[in-house]
Structure 1
Amino acid sequence: MARLLLQLLALQFIFIATVFGLFGSSNKLKGATKYQLQQKVLTLGSSYTIKDDHDKPLYKVGFKQLGLGKHLQLTDVSGAQEFYSIKHVINPLGLAKYEIRSNNQVIAEVNRKINIIGGKKFSVKSKHGTFKIEGNFRSREFKIKNGHHLVATVSKKFFAVGDKYGVQIEQGQDVPFILSLAIVIDEVAHG
């Protein structure tokens, strides 16, 4: 009887290890680079600094123009090169909708999906493909997926003070584009 019990326990252990091995790997980023996205506190509207994991500033985000809806721009640190602009589109239903633009051309639309169960979901249709953003505003943990493939995570768990996120982006992704998606998440969180 004891031998049968040990065999059952061993089979259960192998089953659990197999399940976590098969399903846990899809939630890990390969060759990820880490960034810090920090909103500046004492500014009018939204302003961000984005640094690498060595605390070196790489990008900045500020207002592009005033008007109906926010219009932000993601540039290099000097502000000379614009990578993308992010425009909040006023939606009569009150759901968040954003456009990400390059050279005044819409290259992505980010739409908040209605989710009755909880959590927050966004769909992204872009020139880079179709993305899903899923997460929780209370814990500030989000996953960005291209299809079923995890390409980035956005997390506030490592930063207890201030409005700061850790963003991990898989190698080979358009970094400024993924950072633009992270900015949309933060804008919706404060909207």
Structure 2
Amino acid sequence: MKYVVREKMFAVGDDYWVEDEHGRRAFYVDGKVLRLRETLEIQDASGAVVAVVHQKLLSLRDAMTIERDGQTLVTVRKKRLALLHDVYRAELASGEELEIRGDLLDKEYDIEWEGERLARISRRWFSLRDAYAIDVERDDADASMLIAVAVCVDRLVDKEHDSH
């Protein structure tokens, strides 16, 4: 299933919809303003919160966490020793890891688990700079979690490149 992320530039609180490949609203990313740390709620089309994304406050390297029902599911951060290009990792609460690799700045990358691609993120299909696709390739994958991982990577990469 493909999802399209169309971020609204300069939107108050960074709120935007993620649509499915048929143009139906699938998830809503609700940026919470006036918080001590960056917080985003990801809601399904009916408004139920499926994930909460937080910027991690006390961390040597920038990191973001993804929570569901008050429990941390995933921590996303840049991998320490990536020789050729940026590689991020998403550390699952179970101890497993997802690797995020590719051209992160231009949003052309894959999310992989044990060498198998779970999702491909691509801006290639869009002329607008504020839109990209998330193609969830496995039917049994948690689409909302993969979308949350992509949102985290997007925020972390933007923050890193803005500071340079």
The reply to whether residue 48 of structure 1 matches residue 16 of structure 2 is: yes
Of Structure 1 and Structure 2, the greater helix share is in: 1
Q: TM-score, normalised by structure 1?
A: 0.74
Q: Which letter does structure 1 place at the counterpart of 2:128?
A: V
Kindly indicate whether residue 131 of structure 2 is the aligned counterpart of residue 164 of structure 1.
yes
3-state SS in 1 of match to 2:127: coil
Tell whether the 8 Å contact from 2:88 to 2:153 is kept in structure 1 after alignment: no
Instruction: Count matched residues.
Output: 157
Q: Indicate which of 150, 155, 161 corresponds to 1:187.
A: 155
Could you tell me which residue of structure 1 aligns to residue 116 of structure 2?
149
Q: Is the 8 A contact 2:19 2:27 kept in 1?
A: yes
Aligned-pair CA distance for 1:66: 3.3
| Residues 36 and 164 in structure 1, CA contact (< 8 A), matched pair in contact too | yes
Q: Secondary structure at the match of 2:152?
A: helix
Bigger shift: 168-177 or 39-48? 39-48
Q: CA deviation at 1:189?
A: 3.1
| Cα distance change on mapping 1:120 and 1:48 into 2, 3 Å | farther
The structure number with the bigger radius of gyration is 1
Give runs of aligned pairs for residues 35-114 of structure 1, distance below 5 A: 35-64=3-32, 66-79=34-47, 81-90=48-57, 93=60, 95-114=61-80
Q: Structure 2 unaligned runs (5+)? A: 160-164
* Structure-2-length-normalised TM-score: 0.85
What is the CA–CA distance in structure 2 between the aligned matches of 1:92 and 1:123, rounded to whole Å?
A: 15
**What's the CA shift string for 1:10-55, capped at 9, x where partnerless?**
xxxxxxxxxxxxxxxxxxxxxxx11101111241242221001111
Residue 66 and residue 118 in structure 1: after superposition, are their counterparts in 2 closer, same or farther (change >3 A)? farther
Task: Return 48-57 or 111-120, whichever deviates more.
Answer: 111-120
